[in-house]
Amino acid sequence: MIIVIDGPAGAGKSTTAKAVAKKLGIQYLDSGALYRALTVIYLESGKDADSFFKKLKDKDITFKYTDEQFRVWLNEKDITDKLRSSNVADEVSTVASLLKSRERVNELMREAVEHDTYIAEGRDLGTAVFPDADLKFFMKADVNERARRRYEELLEAGEETSLKKVKQNILERDYKDSQRKTDPLKQADDAIIVDTTNLDFEQQVAQICSDITDKL
Ligand code: C5P
């Protein structure tokens, strides 16, 4: 069984999906973290597309949700701590717009969900990656609220930044993610819309869990 949550940056997909996974005892998959891992490879390649594509073929990419953290390894080296850095955030939408990046991430995700029940989050999961998902949610929230949440997250992680910079990055990513040719950020016609701007978190998790258990 596969349940997907799509939506723009900072809409609350990760925190919600993790809480749902914990409550229902199912697996969690963060597709954004996989695009971020590819961005680490892209930065290591000096932002050169050919060198990036070559490295992409050679790298073994593995991931696991453990101790409430989605961890990613490149050739067995844990790169989780690099995924949320500003360097990566600034380039990830560019990397995610490349067809070869999307093919690699989609292949990794489809392989993973074959053997277990997953809740996965991203931008194009309900429309492109898992169009036959058992249940689809689309999460959205006011951009100021999304920026505030992401800013607090970064501060907690010890990243030096400003609210203005975070909002700017979110707006740029939203634009690039929704305008790109291949599999843009888009709400699936059959997705349940959840606006989290003023939602109580516990209520929101309970509602999604109840929608899922109704389906089981
Ligand atoms: O979810 P997160 O903010 O970590 O995603 C980082 C970036 O990865 C997004 O801004 C988007 O460019 C890309 N992404 C994507 N498709 C997905 C998930 C993420 O293009 N399914």
Q: Domain-by-domain residue ranges, the chain?
A: 2-197
Ligand 1, pocket residues at CB < 6 Å: 9, 31-32, 35-36, 92-93, 96, 122-125, 173, 177
- Listed in sequence order, the residues at least 6 apart from 176 whose beta carbon sits closer than 8 Å to its beta carbon are 93, 94, 97
Of the candidates 112, 117, 108, 96, which has an alpha carbon nearest to the alpha carbon of residue 182? 96
Predicted TM-score (pTM) of this structure: 0.93
Give pLDDT, residue 198. 87
Q: Is 184 annotated as a binding residue?
A: no
Is 90 exceeded by the pLDDT of residue 179? yes
* C-alpha of residue 26 to centroid of ligand 1, in Å: 22
Cβ distance 5 to 209 under 8 Å? no
Q: % helix / strand / coil in the chain, to the nearest 5? A: 55, 20, 30
* C-alpha of residue 188 to centroid of ligand 1, in Å: 16
Q: φ and ψ at 191, to 5 degrees?
A: -85, 150
* C-alpha of residue 25 to centroid of ligand 1, in Å: 25
List the beta bridge partners of residue 74.
61, 77
Cβ distance 156 to 15 under 8 Å? no
Atom 7 of ligand 1, nearest CA residue: 32
Record the tokens describing residue 93, joined without a space.
């939408």
Is 80 exceeded by the pLDDT of residue 216? no
Starting at the edge strand found earlier in the chain, the sheet holding 61-66 runs 61-66, 69-74, 77-78
Cβ distance 124 to 136 under 8 Å? no
List the beta bridge partners of residue 64.
71
Segment 1-48, tens digit of pLDDT = 999 999 999 899 999 999 999 999 999 999 999 999 999 999 999 999
Does the domain spanning 2-197 belong to CATH 3.40.50.300? Answer: yes
Atom 6 of ligand 1, nearest CA residue: 32
ipTM above 0.90, yes or no: yes
